[in-house]
Structure 1
Amino acid sequence: MTTLGFIGLGAMGGPMCRNLAGRAGLPVIAHDIDPEARARCAGRECAATGDPARVARDCATVFLSLPGAAEVRRACLGGDGLLAHARAGTVVVDCSTVPLALTRELAAAFAEKDARYVDAPVAGTVQTVADREISIMAGTDGETFARLAPLLDCMAGTVLHCGESGTGAVTKLLLNMVLAQSVAALAEALLLGRRAGVDGERLFEAFSHGCDSFALRQHGMTALLPGRFPEGRFPTRYMLKDLDYVMELKESLGMTLGGMETVHGLLERTVAAGLGDAYWPALIHAVEEGGEQP
């Protein structure tokens, strides 16, 4: 029987692993450096281990859900990592958000061993992941996607095949780019409207009838309007990390993207102000500070 592996059992990876173990009908071996995260996933369908090499050795299909490029590189290319143990037919499905350059590097490295590295980042929140109310954007060949789709369906309500290797990674980065710019525009509108005497709640209610969006419902109504940016949700430093990857991508392609660069600067200033762990719509503080005329 095929054994599945899962590395990275944090706020997103933990619920994804539990859904995979509960729905796939296959045994799962899961690893995280945090013993408490491992304990939350251990159960009848899932064996938790403190040894990532066990996942690499014993699992032909391994899912990753890690914070960023450094962690993914270590898990894949470390001395006792996934590449070292890869064999013909091994598939690594990376649900992390990483730069396109790293995606291409890893895909080429695994291909040399007749294995597959699939970029399959996730869009969703810690509030919705347990109920599979997330989407996965996969970049791989059609045959590999067809084999993986039933497993991805165990974790996500929406599974999209974006194209060949790298297209999933790019799609996720551009999604976050658009989302960040949308929230920055909402922050500007809220601040300007309030300064002009418009009630913020009425302003956003009007927006919901004229330009309704995920950014308005998920971030405008619940965070910008009440001014609540709690830790424990997707933090500013993570959104900045993702936009760092977009900066790398656009520079590698020789493009200038004024709107994205402006929002990247807002996130940098928000982190510098000590709000790196706050929920990322906290960038409204940088918008407000930058909008004051001398």
Structure 2
Amino acid sequence: MRIGFAGLGNMGGRIAACIVRAGHDVLGYDLRPEHVTAAGARPAGSVGEVAGHSDLVLLSLPDSRVVEAVVLGDDGVLAHARPGQIVVDLSTAAPDSTTRLHRLLAERGAAYLDAGISGGAAAAEKAALTLMVGGDAAVLDRARPALELFSAHIFHCGPSGAGHTAKLLNNFLNAIALSATAEVMVAGKKAGLDLETLLAVLNAGSGVNFATLHRFPKIIHGDYLKGGLTNTLMLKDVQLYVELVARLGVASPNSSGPLASFGLARALGYADEISNTVVDAIGDLSGGVRLHTGEEPAA
């Protein structure tokens, strides 16, 4: 199966590199050509070239607007789609956009899978991502050998759009855990608590979550685990979640917290920084607090 890739940024580049390390050729396109070569992929001149020369096309793009431009553009994926081809969208996208693209590609005989990913940059580098996939189960079976090159867990969530729906639900919980833990850690710092001890308490107690286990043990020492989701993208994901649950008729009283936190981070200049820097945005409004030594607030 010839593999093509469009969008080799923070996550796409790491995923493509996993495929290359496994011994497979990847034809890649990115607006920044250096991303393609850094991942070890063969550079393509356009999205159309990727789609025209690949049996499996992987997409890793910022949002539905960009996904639609890449798929529906004059020299996009749809223009080169053909029977038997599989397109896998690894982006975090709006499910209604996903189902529309699925229908359009199906008219050309091509299959479209929405495959939300979880695990962050660290899991991507280790080929240990979790995939939540929407679309035809038989198509997933055909694509699975390629997807297993960078994933440790693959879940078929249902028909088209189900994967991106599951991704939005997952990312909302991720956003709540990160923003709430950031607030707690700033409070702990200002209260004079030892942050290593505080994390040990949280991880042995009912406050344990992904952020306390995997993010803040690094952050308190100044390692923000750069390379993952930015504050702008995290805010976008939460907004997509709010739109989703509104259409479903589900009340969302808990969405105001992460909307405020990541909106604050974007407003204070952390828009394109990894979302873990939300703790610095909260610290800025709390007297210039930094969790880690070496960057303490001025007296």
Range into which the TM-score falls when normalised by the shorter chain: 0.7 to 0.9
Contact 1:41-1:48 within 8 A present in 2 as well:
no
Question: CA–CA distance in 1 between the matches of 2:192 and 2:46?
Answer: 59
Distance 1:47 1:289, change over 3 A: closer
Aligned twin of 2:151: 156
- The number of residues matched between the two structures is 286
Distance 1:40 1:285, change over 3 A: closer
Q: Deviations over 1:212-237 (max 9, x none)?
A: 332212222222x3466476443211
Q: Deviations over 1:169-216 (max 9, x none)?
A: 011111110011112222233234444453332111111112433221
Aligned twin of 2:39: 41
Q: Considering only aligned residues, what root-mean-square deviation do their CA atoms show, in Å?
A: 2.3
Distance 1:266 1:213, change over 3 A: closer
1:7 aligns with 2:9: no
Question: CA–CA distance in 2 between the matches of 1:199 and 1:21?
Answer: 43
Which aligned segments of 4 or more residues in structure 1 are displaced greater than 6 angstroms? 289-292
Give the superposition deviation at 1:67.
Answer: 1.8
Contact 2:56-2:143 within 8 A present in 1 as well:
no
Gaps of 5+ in 2: 288-299
**Residue 47 of structure 2, aligned match among 49, 52, 75:** 52
SS at structure 1 position matched to 2:120? coil
**Residue 271 of structure 1, aligned match among 262, 266, 273:** 266
Aligned twin of 2:16: 17
Contact 1:35-1:50 within 8 A present in 2 as well:
no
SS at structure 2 position matched to 1:114? coil
Matches within 5 A, 1:255-266: 255-266=250-261
Give the superposition deviation at 1:151.
Answer: 1.0
Aligned residue type for 2:29: H
Give the superposition deviation at 1:48.
Answer: 1.9
Matches within 5 A, 1:54-93: 54-93=49-88
1:182 aligns with 2:177: yes
Aligned twin of 1:250: 245
SS at structure 1 position matched to 2:250? coil
Question: CA–CA distance in 1 between the matches of 2:279 and 2:88?
Answer: 35
Contact 2:134-2:158 within 8 A present in 1 as well:
yes
Distance 1:49 1:218, change over 3 A: same
Question: CA–CA distance in 1 between the matches of 2:64 and 2:147?
Answer: 22
Query: Quick one: percent identity of the two aligned structures?
Result: 31
Aligned residue type for 2:185: L
Distance 1:270 1:165, change over 3 A: same
Matches within 5 A, 1:167-206: 167-206=162-201
Gaps of 5+ in 1: none
Mean Cα displacement is larger for which, 152-161 or 253-262? 253-262
Question: CA–CA distance in 1 between the matches of 2:6 and 2:76?
Answer: 11
Aligned residue type for 2:6: I
Aligned residue type for 2:166: T
Distance 1:232 1:3, change over 3 A: closer
Give the superposition deviation at 1:261.
Answer: 2.4
Aligned residue type for 2:173: V
Question: CA–CA distance in 1 between the matches of 2:37 and 2:162?
Answer: 34
Give the superposition deviation at 1:255.
Answer: 2.8
Question: CA–CA distance in 1 between the matches of 2:67 and 2:84?
Answer: 20
Aligned residue type for 1:85: H
Question: CA–CA distance in 2 between the matches of 1:238 and 1:64?
Answer: 16
Aligned twin of 2:217: 221
Give the superposition deviation at 1:262.
Answer: 2.2
Give the superposition deviation at 1:168.
Answer: 1.0
TM normalised by structure 2 equals 0.87
Question: CA–CA distance in 2 between the matches of 1:228 and 1:22?
Answer: 27
SS at structure 2 position matched to 1:63? strand
SS at structure 2 position matched to 1:119? strand
Mean Cα displacement is larger for which, 228-237 or 153-162? 228-237
Give the superposition deviation at 1:106.
Answer: 0.8
